[in-house]
Amino acid sequence: MIGLGVSGVPAAIRLRIACAKSGHLGPWLDRTIKAHEHPPICGIRRLSLARSTPARVSVSIRVRVHRWRIETNAGAFTARTVIDTRPPMRVPVYGQFFLGREIQTERHVFDPDVVQLMHFRPARSAGVDFVYILPFAPDRALVEVTSFAPHNPGPDVFGPWLDAEIDALDPGKTETLRTEAGALPMEAGFADPEVQGIIRMGLGGGAARPSTGYAFSRTQIQADQVAAALIKGNTPKTSLDGPITRFMDRVFLQVMKTNPARGPALFEALFCNAPKDRLERFLSGSTSTFDRLSVMASLPPMPFLRAAAFPA
């Protein structure tokens, strides 16, 4: 079990989504999250498990009659049900890749009430590149460079880019409090192959929304879904998306992959034209027909109609 605590969430968060044109910041979309509303973005602290788990655990899962035996270098365990949440073994053909640093700055350069969600930048990768800043205080924030791309740009691209973004803030002396890096699958139908009798969950079980790479809230929904089935004695189903959602994700990703240069303009149209509440719900996984239609109406139709008619 991993304990989680929420940290650095202001009572009101104003989200600013930068719409870029030719590398320059264009209009802003402002969204004020009141204290009584559920904020869509927050910082999550992961508690250290060093005292309760070995530094390295090797795992071997073997089937026995009506039970599983899990052998580790910390001992052997038996169970009727195995839920596997380890990272996926398969590499996605398209993903969200990022490198970020939480920094303490000498000068006050951040507005704690403003999350700079997407500052698009001229492409350094083979996809769509942007900067994300999540502030915790006027002198402390997570600064992250991100690519929606067919492969991970890696530290040789991300490192100098992140250095340049931090230097551009004119922060004075900085201290790096922590560093994070990762890769989230953005691929319709992404999941590791099923193994009979093992429940695959998390990223390897298809919890990430293909069109966004978001997985946090969806993983919780998936966990509730599996737990409810097990309590009732049913076989759990880990799939989260219906055929319409999978179709929309496939079309969106095809447009992004085949013409990444249009990515910033498409996001600009989405953020600036779609009703804010409906957009937030859609990005969080809403299957409401009205939310879907409002998002579709906010985008130029031709690229998506071509992708819908001619799957790549």
Tens-place pLDDT, residues 163-188: 999 999 999 999 999 999 988 999 88
Residue 3 lies in a domain: no
pLDDT tens digit sequence for 52-96: 444 445 556 555 556 788 888 888 888 888 888 888 887 788 999
The encoded tokens of residue 84 equal 């596997």
Residues 19 and 162 in one domain: yes
The encoded tokens of residue 155 equal 């530290």
CB 259 within 8 A of CB 303: yes
Nearest Cα to 94, choosing from 144, 152, 180, 145? 152
Beta strands 59-64 and 13-21 are unpaired
Q: Please give the backbone phi and psi of residue 305, each rounded to the nearest 5 degrees, phi first.
A: -65, -40
Residue 278 lies in a domain: yes
Residues 180 and 283 in one domain: no
Last residue of a domain, one of 176, 196, 231: 231
Residue 51 lies in a domain: no
Residues 19 and 117 in one domain: yes
At 303 the pLDDT is 94
What is the mean pLDDT of the segment spanning 237-262? 92
Q: Which of 68-82, 142-156, 236-250 has the lowest mean pLDDT?
A: 68-82
Residues 80 and 114 in one domain: no
Residues 179 and 212 in one domain: no
User: Quick one: pLDDT band at residue 112, thresholds 50, 70, 90?
Assistant: very high
How many separate domains does the chain show?
A: 3
Residues 210 and 285 in one domain: no
What average pLDDT does the chain have?
80
Residue 161 lies in a domain: yes
Residues 29 and 100 in one domain: yes
Residues 29 and 82 in one domain: no
Residues 198 and 181 in one domain: no
Residue 267 lies in a domain: yes
Q: Which domain holds residue 211?
A: 58-87+187-231
Residues 226 and 297 in one domain: no
pLDDT > 70? residue 123:
yes
Beta strands 128-137 and 140-149 are antiparallel
Three-class HEC string of 20-51? EECCEEEEEEEEEECCCCCCCCCEEEECCCCC
Residue 46 lies in a domain: no
CB 13 within 8 A of CB 39: yes
Residues 131 and 18 in one domain: yes
What pTM value is reported for the model? 0.77
